[in-house]
Amino acid sequence: MGDFDHIQPTLWGAGTARTLRPIWVAEELGLNYRLEPIGPRTGETKTETYTALNPKQKIPFCEVGPVKISETFAICRYLVARFGNASVLSAPESIEEAAKEDEWLSFIYGELDETSLYVMRRHGALSNIYGEAPAAMASAREYVLRMLEVVETALADREFLLWDKFTLADLFLTTCLNWVLNYELPLASSLQTYRDRIILRPAYLRAAEANKPRQ
């Protein structure tokens, strides 16, 4: 880690499925991090101070010394690459392993999160902002259930998505399965069992507590 050994990472954002991910990574890695639990749509991301850090005015956001990173995928990737270790959440050991992990992460983030679950959030819980769209909601629901069949097949004979060990792919997938259950969508028993096992991880429990939105 070199010059980064004694730098305390700062994570911005709490209260959403996406902010949970970097907090969970930090907990898995045992990092001494600082959390600034600002929320979305509270006005906190639009202050001059935060906008100077992240002009996108979005959360999560990460600072590690001079390094400043937005976007959940990039933040988690960076934390693992910088601070990961052989015992948990180690970085991929080869180009091929990195490609397979990125394949799953791209699928989970692109197909489950953005293409379907967040569409349901936009036109469901956030319909007062983005408007109601029953057709889009129905299509997103059908799509996410179809994509979950892909995950169910992949997990049919294994404990984790990749290499018989917990990786970022499992972390991202679990946050999406939480979302599925929050929307009261049907979940295959094998995926329910997988998710129930993963959320017993001590790091997850600490992260979920830290990620709770402020009252």
pLDDT tens for the chain, residues 1 to 215:
556 667 899 999 999 999 999 999 999 999 999 999 999 989 999 999 999 999 999 999 999 999 999 999 999 999 999 999 888 898 888 999 999 999 999 999 999 999 999 888 888 777 888 898 889 888 999 999 999 999 999 999 899 999 899 999 999 999 999 999 999 999 999 999 999 999 999 999 999 999 998 76
- Residue 36 within any structural domain of the chain: yes
- Same domain, yes or no, for 36 and 83? yes
- Same domain, yes or no, for 136 and 185? yes
CATH code (residue 149): 1.20.1050.10
- Residue 131 within any structural domain of the chain: yes
- Same domain, yes or no, for 83 and 105? no
- Residue 119 within any structural domain of the chain: yes
- Same domain, yes or no, for 70 and 133? no
- How far apart CA 205 and CA 199 sit, in angstroms, is 7
- Same domain, yes or no, for 80 and 164? no
- Residue 215 within any structural domain of the chain: no
The domain tally of the chain equals 2
pTM: 0.94
- Residue 155 within any structural domain of the chain: yes
- Same domain, yes or no, for 108 and 197? yes
User: What is the greatest pairwise CA distance in the chain?
Assistant: 52
- Residue 49 within any structural domain of the chain: yes
Residue-wise burial string across 29-47, b where 16 or more C-beta atoms lie within 10 A, e elsewhere:
bebebebbbbbbeeebbee
Query: What range does the domain containing 120 cover?
Result: 95-201
CATH code (residue 56): 3.40.30.10
